[in-house]
Amino acid sequence: MCVVDNNAHNIPQLPNHLLWGHLKTFGEIMGQGIHDRHPDQIFEEMWTSMGRPPVMLVDLRPVSPPMVLVPSHSIAEQISKPSQLFPLMERMGPFVKSLDQFATSGEKVSLETLISNLTFDVIGAAVLESDLNSQQLDSSKQGEVTRLFAELMQTYVDDKNNFPWWMVPFTTLKRNRVAKRIDVLVKHMIQQIYNDLKEEAKGNRSRSIVALSFQDTESLTPQLLSETSDQVRNFLFAGHDTTTSMLQWALYELSRTPRALKAVRDELDAIFGPNEIDPLSMCTTFAERAEEIFPHLHYLNAVIRETLRLHPPAATARMTAPGSGFTVRAPTGEEYNLDGTILYSCQSIIQRDRSVYGETIVVQVSLTKAHLDKIILPRHNTNDDARLQVCKFRPNTVPGSPLEWPPRARRDALPSLAKPPLRHPDIRRVPSLDENGQFRVKSELYNDDSQAS
């Protein structure tokens, strides 16, 4: 077996091309299936071809440093720590109005666009207490920040393999130009928030995340302004994508799994009333009685958790310092020195681990009482429940373990997920079910490589 350097001599890896490392193998495997599938699927095929070792070295030089694929819970736990998500506020009116409009007209629309605009609006309200005007269907009527972020994200879609700047100079120049303009706009908004905060009466101050962070700040220095802008742009750029992905997959899985959809509808009817489908009224009720309602949304919580398990929005990566002596231990006892490599915890593999989740890993569990006990109460360490381990590893802004997604984050996402199943039943659906109780599909839905950035 080929080696990359002295530290990597014992890390399992595929044969290594002298010039292109494992990029040659990556390209060959990519050409054998759906060409635009997510890179994680290609990594999984490489890993499977080796017999599913505890870790796998992927030599990405000269494009980027060597990477170690982490495909198991036990090793992911050794390199990670938990983090919190920001809250999702309710700005459902324009979103539901758009759904109603397209449901009535029958016109096809990208669910990703509608949900992405919703979550972008939500983050703008929560972080900056500003209306970014993201939910306009005509992009020319959206706020400049929203339009620029869409333009910025497109540069990452165009650069699917995250090449270094010298391989994509024009894309890099465009990315830097757009990013600088966003930075200017965000800093202006932050400066305005700070000025307003100093002028407002204490009891009437803004409750946005930025405003709250400035409460005890005597002076908005250039350094603080720059750091705050970095944080806000991180919220906007990385934060909205997580919720967007989760809601898309959840609505898709509910639409093709009638038993789960019926369970969600019955649960919502029991809480809000069988005739309550008005989104604003539901948001008001939820806001007023959140602490009372939240513990009773067992099925909706299970849908969110299973969606995040089966369709994680992203993986997480971190770099180990050369010479640090960083090692991990596999369940079989082998130790691997991972100095100077990128550690890539691949959630799409980890969260479908048969040794943890059983043989039905690729199908959303039926929402029976037995399955709910396993999902909602994962710490019941008896019989099969012991397999459902609670994990702490997760990316910076993406929930890595659906069993432990922070309660506040789940609570904030629930209103967005609760409305469409009640308002838009698909009466045209032909009830042809497969062996798993899901509607048959012509082909399986998959994440494409535009989500690889």
**Within-domain flag for 126:** yes
Q: Is residue 205 part of a domain?
A: yes
Question: Do 241 and 343 reside in the same domain of the chain?
Answer: no
Number of independent structural domains in the chain: 3
Do the domain assignments include residue 305?
A: no
Q: Looking at this protein, which amino acid is placed at residue 371? A: H
Per-residue pLDDT band at 90 (split at 50, 70, 90): low
92 and 237 co-located in one domain: yes
Burial 265-297 (b: 16+ CB within 10 A, else e): bebbeebbeeeebebeebbebbeeeeeebbeeb
For residue 208, tell me if it sits in a domain: yes
Kindly report which listed range (55-69, 259-273, 326-340, 396-410) carries the lowest average pLDDT score.
396-410
Which residue among 80, 98, 126 closes a domain?
A: 80
- Does residue 170 form part of some domain? yes
Most confident among 197-201, 305-309, 445-449 (mean pLDDT): 305-309
Helices (H), 124-221: 144-158, 169-199, 209-213
Cβ-contact 419, 96 below 8 angstroms: yes
Q: Are residues 157 and 217 in the same domain?
A: yes
Of 397, 300, 388, nearest to 351 by C-alpha is: 388
Which tokens in the block code for residue 421?
A: 């199943």
Can you give the residue range of the structural domain that contains 69?
22-80
Which tokens sit at 341? 């490599």
Separation of alpha carbons 395 and 83, rounded Å: 8
Confidence category of residue 384, pLDDT binned at 50, 70, 90: very low
**pLDDT value for 444:** 79
Evaluate whether residue 364 is within a structural domain: yes
User: Do both 50 and 158 map to the same domain?
Assistant: no
Residue 168 neighbours by CB distance under 10 Å: 17
Torsion, Cα 345 346 350 352, to 10 degrees, reads 170
- CATH number of the domain encompassing residue 114: 1.10.630.10
pLDDT more than 70, % of the chain = 74
The candidate with the shortest Cα–Cα distance to 447, out of 152, 257, 244, 245, is 245
Distance CA 86, CA 7 (A): 38
- Contact present, 332 and 75 (Cβ < 8 Å): no
Q: What is the rounded average pLDDT of the residues 154-159?
A: 74
| pTM for the full predicted model | 0.71
- 141 is a domain residue: yes
Q: What order do you get walking across the sheet with 67-70 strand by strand? A: 56-58, 67-70, 342-345, 316-319
| Mean pLDDT over each residue of the chain, to the nearest integer | 76
**Cβ atoms of 188 and 167 closer than 8 Å:** no
* Cα distances (angstroms) measured from residue 351 to each of 308, 342, 393, 435: 9, 20, 11, 22
Q: Are residues 177 and 202 in the same domain?
A: yes
Neighbours of 64 (CB within 10 A): 16
Instruction: State phi, psi for 56 to the nearest 5 degrees.
Output: -140, 130
**Alpha-carbon distance 56 to 66, whole Å?**
11
The CA–CA distances, whole Å, from 62 to 22, 29, 155, 163 equal: 10, 19, 21, 10
Same domain for 31 and 152, yes or no, is no
What percent of the chain lies above the pLDDT cut of 90?
Answer: 14
Element (H, E) at 43: helix 39-49
Whose tokens are 């012991």? That residue is: 386
Tell me if 414 is assigned to some domain: no
Instruction: Write phi, then psi, for 277 (nearest 5 degrees).
Output: -130, 0
* pLDDT value at 437 more than 70: yes
Q: 42-46, 179-183, 342-346, 388-392 — which is least confidently predicted?
A: 388-392
Task: Check whether residue 114 and residue 231 sit in a common domain.
Answer: yes
- For residues 65 and 108, state if they share a domain: no
Measured in whole angstroms, the distance separating CA 282 from the mean position of its chain's CA atoms is 25
The tens digit of pLDDT for each residue in 340-369 reads 888 999 888 988 887 777 766 555 444 444
Question: Do 121 and 229 have their domain in common?
Answer: yes
Out of 230, 256, 282, a domain closes at: 256
Look at residues 60, 80, 100 and tell me which one is the last residue of a structural domain: 80
Co-location of 92 and 128 in the same domain: yes
Using pLDDT thresholds of 50, 70 and 90, give the confidence band for residue 421: low
Task: In whole angstroms, give the CA distance from residue 342 to residue 135.
Answer: 37
Based on the domain organization, do 99 and 247 belong to the same domain? yes
Specify whether 103 is located in the same domain as 251: yes
**Residue 417: pLDDT band by 50, 70, 90 thresholds?**
low
